[in-house]
Structure 1
Amino acid sequence: MTNTADTPTNPGSTRLYPRTLPHADGEIALRRMDAADAGAVLAFAQALPTHDLLFLPRDITQPKVMDAWVRAIARGDIDSVLAVRDDKVLGCAAVIRDPHSWSRHVAELRVLVEPALRGSGLGQQLAQEGCALAMEQGHEKVVAQMTVDQRGAIAVFQALGFRPEALLSKHVKDREGRAHDLVVLCQDVAQVEAQMRAYGVTEAF
């Protein structure tokens, strides 16, 4: 993985990468995902518990799905930020948008973190980074979804101003055929920005 540029991949973004995060187990680098990262991200996804992937519309443990992800990044339809230490992917955040849809004002935020680092604050940092990217891109609403039993993830998003908006009953099935409910959480960007201004915060996160 050789992405070392300190300028945004997306020309509309002003957020600079790579950037270093302090962490109890050693510094973690935040940087943009690009085509050279496909193998490392695939290995990261394949090591995750299957249940962690149920909220995704496609199985990212499949190489062809990872290839599609990389192509979407190249088109500018996805911004992906990786959390990396010693060339190992520890987590990622993806901001997905469809500029040609009726919901082009809405971005979807997806966050995945290595199980060993859950509860360490990395998931919140990645979610915060994704929200900041969506905010600077002018999105009016950010949505995230997850299975209802992922209480830790739900708490992370609620701390960032997301609120439950829908429950999709038996919306996904795991590889054993068991059905699971998904909860959809939403963030009103204008409301969050107003709260930030009220607290004297002038830049997104």
Structure 2
Amino acid sequence: MAEQIKTNRPYPIQVKLRDGRSAAIRVMEPHDLDKIVEFAKELPADDLLFLRTDITDRNVVKQWIDNIKNGHTITLLAEIDGELAAYASVHLDQARWTRHIGEIRVITLPRYRGTGLGRRLVAEVFDLARSLGLKKITAQMTTDQTAARAAFEHLGFQVEAMLSDWVEDRRGRARDLLIMTHDVAGFSDRIVA
């Protein structure tokens, strides 16, 4: 069994947001299971519709925690006044030929969007990706997720591929999948809030 990924940065850290509030960013731990499930209950149905996994399901969150324990994933949580406001993860590919690539996943509760929190989490995850020796980060979304696409493009991600009818939403409707990428070495600090 692989060990949990260690970070070079001493978490938790405090960051100032655009609205004047502070957020604590820390590494997700096994005891955060219930906090993640509660966070998922706060997300709008449309956000849940497009998540890669169903984080409202405790068993799915347990698998996520197992991936953290096994060194396949690292997740940063952002809390504001003790409430989980957002998370960002980098998921490491286990296939030998793509071990240099990680996938980023990030989501923020609607009431904290526009504060720079998601952007700051992405910057932190990129620092982690660099420290892990990753060369490229990917982000996947459906083509209907125009706000997510715009946010990633603003961060310098570029569309690498569009796969027609690649995913099905929770209602069974086919959706096109957009794959965006960014070179880790080329990532700039302009994204810091």
Q: Same fold (TM over 0.5)?
A: yes
Q: Contact (CA 8 Å) 2:16, 2:23: kept in 1 or not?
A: yes
**Are residue 153 (structure 1) and residue 148 (structure 2) matched?**
yes
Match among 106, 109, 116 for residue 111 of structure 2: 116
The equivalences for 1:17-166 within 5 A come to 17-23=11-17, 24=19, 26-166=21-161
Q: Contact (CA 8 Å) 2:36, 2:55: kept in 1 or not?
A: no
Alignment match, 1:175: 170
- Residues 49/15 of structure 1: CA separation in 2 closer, same or farther (3 Å cut): same
Q: Secondary structure at the match of 2:160?
A: strand
Q: 1-side partners of 2:96 and 2:40: how far apart?
A: 28
Aligned residues: 187
1:25-74 C-alpha deviation (Å, 9 max, x unpaired): 62111001001111011111232123324444321211100000011111
* One-letter amino acid of the counterpart of residue 183, structure 1: L
Deviating runs (4+, > 3 A) in structure 1? 53-57
- Residues 97/42 of structure 1: CA separation in 2 closer, same or farther (3 Å cut): same
Q: Secondary structure at the match of 2:55?
A: coil
TM-score, with normalisation over the residues of structure 1? 0.82
Q: Secondary structure at the match of 1:17?
A: coil
* One-letter amino acid of the counterpart of residue 62, structure 2: D
- Residues 160/174 of structure 1: CA separation in 2 closer, same or farther (3 Å cut): same
Aligned residues with identical type, % of pairs: 40
Structure 1 alignment gaps of length 5 or more: 1-8
Q: Which moved more, 1:103-112 or 1:114-123?
A: 114-123
Alignment match, 2:10: 16
Q: 2-side partners of 1:53 and 1:169: how far apart?
A: 21
Q: Contact (CA 8 Å) 2:168, 2:175: kept in 1 or not?
A: yes
Cα root mean square deviation, aligned? 2.1
Q: 1-side partners of 2:28 and 2:77: how far apart?
A: 6
TM-score, with normalisation over the residues of structure 2? 0.87
